[in-house]
């Protein structure tokens, strides 16, 4: 079962994925880059990256782990007086609609998008052993799904695939 040790690793290309966990990672730089990208996406959309949206976004990126909405609410309560669940859900809805975060249905949790501002569909590899989550963007898989769906008269609006298994470390 996935627990709080789940880690998110954005991976742009399945062929590039060697191991889930990056060898060297400057988390401060990573979060700063994510915030900068989010600001650009919001500006391009003509929407405000309000202080609350920014805080929720930064909390999501703070650990690279999928975070549940009520966990975000608890973290937000440390810096904001009496935040309400609808406030967090509205911020998450905005961030998801802007393509800045993904929702993992099987975990009922959210993670920051590794490639915000670029339209793409997500395929997520979720390790059942250590909880690591890797985001893939396999254009061929997305195209095959779309083509197969079109053959039976279905138009795909959104695709999120969650695949459970074991990462290399947990297989050994």
- Predicted confidence (pLDDT) at residue 1 exceeds the cutoff of 70: no
Q: Pick one of 3.30.930.10, 1.10.10.10, 3.40.50.2300, 3.30.950.10 as the CATH number of 8-171.
A: 1.10.10.10
| Beta-sheet pairing, 122-127 with 160-165 | parallel
Cα separation, 81 vs 51, in Å, equals 14
Q: For the segment 18-73, what is each residue's pLDDT rounded down to a tens digit?
A: 345 555 666 677 788 889 999 999 999 999 999 999 999 999 988 767 889 999 99
**Residue 120 pLDDT:** 76
**Residue 28 pLDDT:** 72
- List strand residue ranges (DSSP E) for the chain, in order: 8-10, 101-104, 109-112, 122-127, 133-136, 160-165
* Domain residue spans of the chain: 8-171
- The structure tokens listed for 77 are 């309560």
Report pTM.
0.79
* Buried b / exposed e along 89-126 (16+ C-beta atoms within 10 A): eebbebbeebbbbbbbeebebbbbbbebbeebbbbbbb
**Residue 17 pLDDT:** 39
Backbone angle region of 144, left / alpha / beta, with phi > 0 → left and psi within -120 to 50 → alpha: alpha
Do 2 and 126 contact (CB within 8 A), yes or no?
yes
Question: Greatest CA separation found in the chain?
Answer: 52
Cα distances from 124 to residues 41, 119, 155, 165, in angstroms, run 22, 16, 22, 11
**Residue 130 pLDDT:** 79
Q: For the segment 126-170, what is each residue's pLDDT rounded down to a tens digit?
A: 888 877 788 888 889 999 999 999 999 999 988 889 999 998 888
The whole-number average pLDDT for the span 70-94 is 92
Q: For the segment 88-133, what is each residue's pLDDT rounded down to a tens digit?
A: 999 999 999 999 999 999 999 998 887 887 777 778 888 888 777 8
**Residue 80 pLDDT:** 84
């Amino acid at each position: 079962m996935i627990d709080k040790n789940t880690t998110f690793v954005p991976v742009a290309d399945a062929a590039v994925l060697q191991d889930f966990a990056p060898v060297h990672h400057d988390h401060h730089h990573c979060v700063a880059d994510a915030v900068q990208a989010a600001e650009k996406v919001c500006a391009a959309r003509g929407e405000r990256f309000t202080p609350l949206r920014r805080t929720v976004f930064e909390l999501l990126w703070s650990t690279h782990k999928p975070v549940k909405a009520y966990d975000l609410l608890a973290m937000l309560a440390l810096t904001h007086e009496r935040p309400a669940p609808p406030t967090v859900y509205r911020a998450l809805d905005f961030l998801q609609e802007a393509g800045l975060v993904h929702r993992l249905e099987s975990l009922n949790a959210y993670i920051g998008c590794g490639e915000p501002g670029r339209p793409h569909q997500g395929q997520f590899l979720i390790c059942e052993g250590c909880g690591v989550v890797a985001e893939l963007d396999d254009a061929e898989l997305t195209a095959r799904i779309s083509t197969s769906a079109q053959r039976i008269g279905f138009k795909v609006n959104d695709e999120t695939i969650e695949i459970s298994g074991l990462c290399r470390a947990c297989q050994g």
